[in-house]
């Protein structure tokens, strides 16, 4: 793990100092997730998203596994982005995200980049990570729907939180 990423992540409050000091988080990750750790840390720093949020979403959506890149409702990639979420991300993010087709989300590095950017957009709209995570699952940028859709979105948040805590991370 690149020490600069760890230091930047600590300074940004993206994961706990205890997790950073021990570097034990990567030891707790499944084999499929370990290969994504560097991309997770990089995108967490780039988007100012807690490492636990990105990791928890990936663990909940696909476990980081290649055989889980296709969702039942047309979602793609290890972060299981809906096409509407991908469109929102492209429209709200500018040149870094333009010209990349939806199918590119099958590439894990691209999926983590888009998913991290999208959860940051949702956080900027809602002001808190719980509502942003709830919206990620059910509603995209229709954040009021995430607030009203309490059962589905609340259960999703609890799953993400549980998966995050299982590996020693946290959601602020």
* pLDDT tier at 146, thresholds 50, 70, 90: low
Q: Which of 141, 131, 114, 140 is nearest to 54 (CA)?
A: 114
Question: What one-character DSSP code corresponds to residue 76?
Answer: B
CATH class of domain segment(s) 3-166:
mainly alpha
Q: Are 146 and 131 in contact (CB under 8 A)?
A: yes
Q: Are 76 and 103 in contact (CB under 8 A)?
A: yes
> Residue 122 above 70 pLDDT?
yes
Unique residue bearing structure tokens 């509603």: 139
Q: What pTM does this model have?
A: 0.80
- How far from 21 is each of 30, 37, 171, CA to CA, in Å? 20, 16, 18
CB neighbour class for 145 (10 Å; exposed up to 12, middle 13-18, buried from 19): middle
Distance CA 143, CA 133 (A): 10
Using CA of residue 91, residue 43, residue 35, residue 78, what is the dihedral sign? Answer: negative
Domain ranges, ordered by start, for the chain: 3-166
Question: For the segment 69-98, what is each residue's pLDDT rounded down to a tens digit?
Answer: 988 888 899 999 988 888 888 888 877 788
């Amino acid at each position: 793990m690149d020490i600069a990423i760890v230091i930047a992540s600590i300074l940004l409050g993206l994961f706990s100092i205890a997790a950073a000091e021990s570097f034990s988080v990567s030891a707790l990750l499944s084999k499929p997730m370990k290969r994504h750790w560097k991309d997770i840390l990089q995108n967490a720093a780039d988007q100012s998203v807690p490492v636990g949020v990105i990791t928890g979403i990936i663990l909940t959506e696909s476990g980081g596994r290649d055989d889980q890149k296709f969702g039942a409702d047309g979602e793609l990639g290890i972060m299981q982005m809906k096409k509407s979420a991908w469109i929102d991300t492209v429209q709200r993010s500018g040149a870094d995200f333009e010209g990349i087709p939806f199918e590119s989300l099958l590439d894990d590095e691209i999926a983590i980049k888009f998913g991290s950017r999208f959860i940051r957009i949702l956080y900027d709209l809602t002001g808190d990570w719980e509502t942003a995570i709830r919206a990620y699952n059910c509603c995209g940028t229709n954040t009021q729907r995430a607030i009203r859709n309490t059962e589905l979105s609340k259960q999703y948040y609890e799953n993400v939180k549980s998966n995050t805590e299982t590996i020693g991370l946290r959601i602020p």
